[in-house]
Amino acid sequence: MTNLSVNINKVATLRNARGENLPDVVKTALDCERFGADGITVHPRPDERHIRRSDVLSLKPLLRTEFNIEGYPSPEFMDLVLKVKPTQVTLVPDAPDALTSSAGWKVGAHLEQLTAIVDSLREAGIRSSIFTGTDSESILMAAKAGADRVELFTKPYADLYPTRPHEAVAPFVEASITAHKAGLGVNAGHDLSLDNLRFFHEQVPFLNEVSIGHALICDALYLGLEETIRRYKACLA
């Protein structure tokens, strides 16, 4: 089974636009769980332009599904995740001012840093996932670093899918096989949507989890959150 983790960053972006507590980020996360989500993902950035540290602290004792916190492993980020101890931490190479994740780690170039981070997560009982592209070298280096999983950056798939779906998915099939043979679990995320998720899921083996935020929250504006989650889960059935 492939789990659906709902990224609620965009809910926090909308809340922060007015400086009040509408929509309520914690209530939305709990509703996502109630409607069938298998996990909740947040990405607390240093400027707190969407998810805040206080959101992370509020969510942890209330969530009943897997809690995935993604971010660049700065000292401040690591202090937060080691305090909260979510189910999973996804390590991304984003600069502090990045609009969104735009590439995976070149793991070999950061092997010492990532190995130390993964070691500290393991000691705290936290599953680690390293955000990568489909290149086999980075995937194998993630295994060498001791990570539990990789998360494949799927924007290249989403961009090519409308015109050449089989060509778009082929590198991800190979990457997932490579990761599985190396003993890694496989997550995926970025620009996955109701348009392209079912095909991705049908083609890519060993897929443990997809993390979806922007498209899912946009769909919820038209379909409602409960129906949206139902449709995304149906793509993974």
Is 70 assigned a catalytic role?
yes
Q: Which tokens is 117 given? A: 């981070």
Half-sphere exposure of 197 (CA within 13 A, CB side): 26
- Between CA 14 and CA 50 the distance in angstroms is 8
- Between CA 15 and CA 199 the distance in angstroms is 33
Q: Which tokens is 182 given? A: 């190396």
In the set 33, 43, 50, 66, the catalytic residue is: 43
Buried b (16+ CB within 10 A) or exposed e, 2-35: bbbbbbbbbbbeebeeeeeeebebbebbbbbbeb
Minimal CA–CA distance to 126: which of 75, 84, 63, 73? 84
For residue 103, the one-letter residue type is A
Is 190 assigned a catalytic role?
yes
In the set 110, 151, 190, 209, the catalytic residue is: 190
* Residues whose CB falls within 8 Å of the CB of residue 214, separated by 6 or more in sequence, listed in order: 7, 10, 191
In the set 70, 110, 151, 209, the catalytic residue is: 70
* Residues whose CB falls within 8 Å of the CB of residue 95, separated by 6 or more in sequence, listed in order: 72
Is 43 assigned a catalytic role?
yes
Catalytic center residues:
43, 70, 190
